[in-house]
A and B are shown apart, each in its own frame.
Chain A
Amino acid sequence: MSPLPSWLAAVLALLPGVAVAAEYGPAVHYALECQGCHRVDGQGTPGSVPALAGFAARFLAVPGGREYLVRVPGVAQAPLDDAAVAAVLEWMLRRFDPEHLPPDHQPYTPEEVGRLRRSPLTDVRGERARLVAAMDAVRGRGE
């Protein structure tokens, strides 16, 4: 990304909260766009907000799970560009669920995020239930 001309940066800096967002790294983007619900430690709130901690990377182990993590409303509709979403996803997986991250995990790319977030989920709960059942089946076979 080429740096903004200084005069443009100065003008954009006058706009609250919007233009400067692109300059932030994934930790700040997580704080601004995700943490309000998923909380600082990724634990969520039982019954209201799903936990990321110790769980999120398990989606990567089942067919459709990688896509699900981008297509859920909070990610697909986040006010971030595709590259920033990809960076937050990778940061989130490593921060909150490194133990379930597959050794051969390929990082999300901006192109992949851009493609997936343009087909958001219409039945989030149904898809989540299907994927969690698939996780349990995988785990059952492994034991």
Chain B
Amino acid sequence: MTRQASWLDRLVERGTRQLARRTSRRGLLARAGALLVGASALPLLPVARGTEPAGGGNASRVPVPSDAGLEGPVGDPTRCEYWRHCAIDGFLCACCGGSQSTCPPGTEMSPITWIGTCRHPGDGKDYIISYNDCCGQALCMRCRCMRTEGERPVYWASKNNDLLWCFGTKSRAVHCSVAIVLGVASEA
């Protein structure tokens, strides 16, 4: 009995030590947290997508344009050349566990953003794009992208994308950035 217990002890101890060597406590907590948040967000996903459709902004009631007909990088949300990214500065959330319009699990979308327009290469219309930072984790470090169409110098803060836009969030740490279509920039 004693021999068996000590054999079990050694096995558990070895396993625990290996686990401790391979992982950090923060990493484990982050993954567990991401799993929890991700699981709890699943039933909400259709609602979350609802922030991007037509009329998410006040500008117009047209649908978000389809990317299906776009070939190459302009239609690929994981590429800097993606059409919505014409004025983004940050790591693309589509490469970081989120999408072009949703934050990765475990991060919080900043409600305060900077907003510009990008032209859709398919229909030639200018769309209003909101560049929201996803906050609460360290920099994603994947798919860095910096484009500056319509951007203004930093003294024009509301039109500058060098700023970290994690305002109004629990954490000021920036993880990645999304590009949400708010509507079409029509004459309305």
Contact = CB atoms under 8 A, between A and B. Distances in A.
Interface in B29-82: 56-60
A47 B167 CA distance: 10
Interface in B136-188: 149-150, 152, 156, 158-159, 167-168, 182-183, 185-188
Contact of B113 (A36, A47, A74, A77): A36
Contact of B116 (A17, A23, A45): A17
Contacts of B186: 24-25, 28
Interface string B87-126: 0000000000000000000000001111111010000001
Interface of B: 56-60, 86, 111-117, 119, 126, 128, 130, 149-150, 152, 156, 158-159, 167-168, 182-183, 185-188
Contact of B168 (A28, A30, A49, A77): A49
Contacts of B182: 31, 35, 40
Contacts of B188: 25, 27-28
A142 interface: no
B183 to A, nearest CB: 7
A45 B112 contact: yes
B132 to A, nearest CB: 9
Q: Which 6 pairs show the lowest CB-CB distances between chains A and B?
A: A17-B150, A45-B168, A16-B149, A36-B115, A31-B57, A36-B113
Nearest to A95: B58
Contacts of A24: 185-187
A121 interface: no
Interface string A21-57: 0011101101111011101100001011100000000
Contact of A37 (B59, B112, B149, B152): B112
A16 to B, nearest CB: 4
B58 A31 contact: yes
Contacts of B59: 27-28, 31
A28 B119 CA distance: 15
B58 A48 contact: no
Contacts of A45: 111-112, 167-168
16 contacts: A16-B117, A16-B149, A17-B116, A20-B126, A23-B187, A25-B186, A25-B187, A31-B115, A33-B158, A36-B158, A37-B112, A39-B112, A45-B111, A48-B168, A49-B168, A79-B156
